[in-house]
Amino acid sequence: MSFLGTLENLAKGAATGVLVVTALPVFGAAGAITAVGVAVGSAVGAAAALLDDLKKDD
Hey, where are the domains in the chain?
Answer: 3-55
CA distance 49 to 46: 5
2: left (phi over 0), alpha (psi -120 to 50) or beta: beta
Residue spans of the chain under pLDDT 70? 1, 22-33, 57-58
pLDDT score recorded for residue 1: 56
pLDDT score recorded for residue 27: 56
pLDDT score recorded for residue 33: 65
* Angle, CA 45 vertex, CA 7 and CA 21 arms, to 5°: 140
pLDDT score recorded for residue 45: 81
